[in-house]
Amino acid sequence: MLTYNLDIEPGSLWLRTTPGETALGQPFFCSEAGIFYARKDFNTARSFKDNYILFCTIDGCGLISQNGQTVELRRNEALLMNCRYPQSYQTKEDSWQHYWIHIDGEGVKAMESILIPDGKLTPVPLSAKSANLHFDTILKNLETDSVQSILTDSLEVHQLLSMMAAFLIKKQAESTGTVQLILEAADYIRLHYREDLNLENLLQLTHLSRSYFLQMFRRIIGTTPHAYLLACRITRCKLLLETTDLSITDIAEQTGFRDSSSLSVRFSAMVGQSPLRYRNNALHQQ
């Protein structure tokens, strides 16, 4: 269900495209975009739309509501919202000049936990010069059906979301002094990947609560501690497969896996081929 009052000034822009195979294969892609010079009666309410929306206020102020929360989006602030949940947005007071783009893709989904922490709408400051450049490029390219324009827009969205994510991570880390602790935990995993590590080891190292440690590790490192440990082990496995004639059993023992079967299952899932096939392919490429 969608209701709206499109109270916007002349010169406002609303562009649409239907993402094709190339666009859908990108980690970030756009389906609609615009720049609205919204007047005081502008408003939109929607129960569902199968993507995200990224707002950025140029001037004035908007009110954005979702999940019982309402936030103000002021000048030079951006906000990502998941449109799969009921939402509304409108002008606050007299005007709300803003860019907006409907976006989706695996890259956006990966950013959601950072940009919408615990499902909370989170305005983020953005440099006006930088934001205008990225949004204007997207608007320029959106209706140009070429691979180059699709790739450019994907990169522009990535850069916008990355700037927002970097700000939030830095802000939270600076207020808690967490970054160094998380980096130390990651270093510990890299150095002790052969050992039977568990979450308690890392919590004792950082003296952080379980939930906060897991939340911040994902935000700063980009994955869970367990997935990071597996990645360290698999990376070492690759090196041993490529540079030694050790058996899979010996490699499993040297990289922290219980046995060769456990190594083979994890390796195949993460690399897409068995350890023996990986070794054979590496030998043929030398």
Instruction: Identify the pLDDT of residue 176.
Output: 66
The answer to whether residues 182 and 130 belong to one domain is no
Residues 132 and 16 in one domain: yes
* Mean pLDDT of all residues belonging to the chain: 93
Query: Could you tell me if 7 and 113 lie in one domain?
Result: yes
- Verify that 130 and 216 share a domain, yes or no: no
Same domain? 169 vs 39: yes
242 with 281, same domain?
Answer: yes
- Computed on alpha carbons and rounded to an integer, the radius of gyration of the chain in Å comes to 23
Q: Crossing angle for the helix pair 275-285 and 225-243, nearest 10 degrees? A: 50
Residues 6+ apart with CB under 8 A from 135: 33, 35, 56, 99, 101, 156, 160
Q: Which of 174, 189, 206 is the last residue of a domain?
A: 174
- Enclosing domain of residue 65: 2-174
Tell me how far apart the alpha carbons of residues 214 and 150 are, in angstroms, rounded to a whole number: 35
pLDDT digit string, tens, across residues 3-52:
999 999 999 999 999 999 999 999 999 999 999 999 999 999 999 999 99
Across 19-138, the runs of DSSP E, i.e. the strands, are 29-39, 43-46, 52-66, 69-73, 77-82, 87-104, 124-125
Please state whether the predicted TM-score (pTM) of the whole model is above 0.85: no
Shared-domain flag, residues 131 and 272: no
Of the residues 122, 149, 174, which one is the last residue of a structural domain?
Answer: 174
Claim to verify: residue 78 and residue 206 sit in the same structural domain: no
- The residue from 127, 146, 174 where one domain ends is 174
User: Which residues are CB-neighbours of 27 under 8 A, at least 6 positions away?
Assistant: 105, 106, 107, 108, 110, 154, 158
* Cα separation, 110 vs 124, whole angstroms: 17
Tell me the pLDDT tens digit for each residue of 206-230.
988 998 899 889 888 889 999 999 9
